[in-house]
Chains A and B, each alone.
Chain A
């Protein structure tokens, strides 16, 4: 039972480079989201999706793009990396609706450094 899988675990980028952080889940969850974690800031929502073909912006979306072509995958793209995007990125998934099982399941994170 893999749950939520993020790749890569670590990445160093140069300013201006682009890259894609991968996220895949095998729990058939409709809701998926990306967060960044910075010291003293908690987890801040970047983008989220309530199903394939539907995405929306969170609290800190600038500099990031997402797409949701399948239920399983929710990649996060950094278009032109900046040092301010140095952070730990977490992908999460959960069931949708007004149900009892709405807790989110998290990946292990991607530690990104932009130099």
Chain B
């Protein structure tokens, strides 16, 4: 069975500092990995994905994530945080387009001016 762990419920970072939101996964097979962001009272917006190829993937709004197979991790990063990045972030995994997308419990990011 697939599972995703986001070990931090809350991450606080000062504006302009780098940010990292952690994600580890467990899956039998090659994972498709995703990050989504949710702003208050909104649906989930796709940020970036890893399917295959280069372990460092770049996505929307300056975010990037690094796939690490040996550590089964897919941490979300941004070099310089903005107050507008404050939101709820979800990591998710699936094995293919035919299988369910399994989410972590989410990490609330707060960027302080």
Binding site for B on A (CB under 8 A): 4, 30-31, 33, 35, 40-45, 48, 50, 58, 90, 92, 94-100, 102-109
> What separation, in Å, do the CA atoms of A100 and B96 have in the docked complex?
9
Which of chain A's residues have a CB closer than 8 A to the CB of B90? 42-43
Which of chain B's residues have a CB closer than 8 A to the CB of A105? 46
CB-nearest residue of chain A to B49: A103
Contact B46 A42 (CB under 8 A): no
Which of A33, A96, A97 contacts B101, CB < 8 Å? A33
Contact A102 B32 (CB under 8 A): yes
> What separation, in Å, do the CA atoms of A33 and B90 have in the docked complex?
17
Which of B43, B46, B98, B103 contacts A97, CB < 8 Å? B98
> What separation, in Å, do the CA atoms of A41 and B9 have in the docked complex?
11
Most buried by B among A99, A104, A108, A109: A104
Closest 5 CB pairs of A and B: A42-B105, A106-B43, A102-B97, A96-B97, A43-B103
A5 to chain B, nearest CB (A): 11
Contact A106 B96 (CB under 8 A): no
Contact B98 A31 (CB under 8 A): yes
Contact B96 A97 (CB under 8 A): yes
Most buried by B among A50, A98, A103, A105: A103
Chain B residues 55 to 113 lying within 8 A of chain A, measured CB to CB, are 90, 92, 94, 96-98, 100-106
CB-nearest residue of chain A to B34: A103
B12 to chain A, nearest CB (A): 18
Contact B100 A102 (CB under 8 A): no
Contact B42 A108 (CB under 8 A): yes
CB-nearest residue of chain B to A108: B43
Contact B98 A50 (CB under 8 A): yes
Q: A42-B104, A103-B34, A107-B43 are in contact. Are A96 and B98 (CB under 8 A)?
A: yes
Query: Can you list 23 residue pairs at the A/B interface with Cβ under 8 Å?
Result: A4-B43, A31-B98, A35-B103, A41-B105, A42-B90, A42-B103, A42-B104, A42-B106, A92-B101, A96-B96, A96-B97, A96-B98, A97-B97, A97-B98, A98-B96, A102-B49, A102-B94, A102-B97, A103-B46, A105-B46, A106-B44, A107-B43, A108-B42
